[in-house]
Amino acid sequence: MKRRKINYHNHTVFSDGSFIPAVIVAEAYAKGLEAVGISDHCFSGIKLGPNDVPSVESYIGAVDKVRERYGEKIRVAVGMEVAFGSNMAESGIPRRVCDRLDYILFEYVGLYRGFGLRELVAIRRDIGLPVGLAHTDMDLAFPDVEREKLADILEKEDIFVELCPARRNMRVALHPVDGEELYIKPAYRCNIDFYRLVRGRRIGLTIGTDTHDNLSDVADIGDAADFIEELGLWENVLEL
Ligand SMILES: [Zn+2]
């Protein structure tokens, strides 16, 4: 299966990004991406971004307009990124918002006390959209879940996994004594045992660079694409 050029994780001025959606999409198109997704922070009490339904709807409307302008030239998807915590598990995501979205990314799953995979699975079935884990380091988020079991859950519950090559989400190892950086690398490269289990399973993958204030991040998908190639996982890569 051929290599694909996609990036489904980009923020805009609607949350804590520096660019309007049209600028992100123009960059993606200029650099030859096939698909670009806008995924601003929504319903995330601990993050900037729209937390009420009318402002979420104006965000979606703005991305829809850009999509119309580009037509068939590039796939423009509208998603959102939700910091998974008590706010989300209690209130859920309004149906009329879900109906207008292409996907939802959840970040920090497993990193907040009590809000892990089990809680995500509990709300996932009501969402009715592609749902994925944003920039997740499996070793840090799910240290107690056996890798086969993790793959089983993601496959059964239809939760995709984003590979994020951005420096801001890399694993950093510090020297235990002087605190100096020993290495920094993308979490997926640290989680290779998990990704080896993905081949041949119905576990979706995406690439997302978590663009905020650096426009060149939009097309900076190369290492994640190389990793997918190395493990033979293009069959798993989703079109959202
Ligand atoms: Zn993000």
Both tokens assigned to 159 = 């939760």
Whole-number Å distance, alpha carbon 177 to ligand 1 midpoint, is 32
Out of 3.30.70.270, 3.40.50.12780, 3.20.20.140, 3.40.109.10, select the CATH number for domain 6-236: 3.20.20.140
Q: Ligand 1 mean position to 113 CA, how many Å?
A: 20
| 137 CA distance to ligand 1 middle (Å) | 14
pLDDT band of 59, cuts 50, 70, 90? very high
What's the confidence (pLDDT) of residue 92? 75
Mean pLDDT of the chain: 93
DSSP 209: -
Supply the pTM of this predicted model.
0.94
Which pLDDT value is given to residue 45?
67
| CA 172 to chain CA centroid, nearest Å | 20
Q: Do the beta carbons of residue 101 and residue 60 sit within 8 Å? A: yes
**Is the separation of the CB atoms in 238 and 7 below 8 Å?**
no
37 torsion bin: left (phi>0), alpha (psi -120 to 50), beta (else): beta
Does the structure show a pLDDT above 60 at 89? no
For residue 11, report the distance from its CA to the centre of ligand 1, in Å. Answer: 6
| Contact indicator for 78, 36 with CB cutoff of 8 Å | no
Cα 211 to Cα 12, 112, 167, distances in angstroms: 8, 23, 11
